[in-house]
Homo-oligomer: A and B are copies of this chain.
Amino acid sequence: MLKEERHQLILEKLNTDKKVNLVDISQLLNVSYDSIRRDIIELEDKGLLKKVHGGAIANSYLSMKASKGLGIANSEIMGIAKKAHKLIENHQTIIMDGGTTNFYIAEQLPKNLEATIITNNPHLAISLSEHPKIDVILLGGTFYKRYQISIGIETSTALEHINADLYFMGINSISANNGAAIRNYEESLMKRRMMQSARRTIVGVVEEKINIQETYKVCEFSQISCLISSLSPSDELLKDFHGQGVEIL
């Protein structure tokens, strides 16, 4: 079994399961624990996954890239995308940043929608090439391989002169008390800047990100205009989120 072969298999498993266990994989592929451990280190160096105690977890960009190729979209995310599309009207200007959810919201936009999309996510820009009536503005800056978006002073400066209608913000966690938070500091600053440049901030999240808490807080929950999930607004999981003036879809 070639090393590169193992690498591919690990990444594939990561795509479907979102996480891998070191011991499991080593038994599955019938190689020593150490080899797999070193594989994981190498792959992390390439920014293709995130190493955690006991194994590794998927990187948003990777799942994006993989699902793009495979054309498989998670049905939960598709539901979120559908709801998001209802908030968009013709001729609006929309800011979108990184993350799998945003990628699908963009990719699945109606083909006849006329809009301008501003993004720091090159995958999204490329994908929107298939939408003839959507103008795309790509925000430049230092490209963060791990998150597959550009971040930095340049990105920020460009936003200063923009007044968008909507901002679809991708996040890693949200809770009613602690607001929205993510894993990267620079990115959290960027997101605050983006909020300032749009009238309404909309957050789409998959269930597993609800009621958990990541390191860097972006904003209070009440500062968000609208929260979209795959759940029914009356779902038990969402009960704390009501009553703060945020639309729940």
Contact = CB atoms under 8 A, between A and B. Distances in A.
Contacts of A148: 126, 129
B47 A132 contact: yes
A158 B46 CA distance: 28
A69 B3 CA distance: 31
Contacts of A73: none
A39 to B, nearest CB: 12
Q: Tell me the number of copies of this protein.
A: 2
Nearest to A129: B145
A16 to B, nearest CB: 14
Interface residues of A, number: 42
Interface stretch (A29-37, A51-59, A175-183, A233-241): A51-59
Nearest 4 CB-CB pairings of A with B:
A140-B140, A122-B122, A136-B143, A4-B52
Interface of A: 2-5, 8, 18-19, 21, 45-47, 50, 52-55, 57, 61, 120, 122-123, 125-126, 128-130, 132, 135-143, 145, 148, 150, 154-155, 158
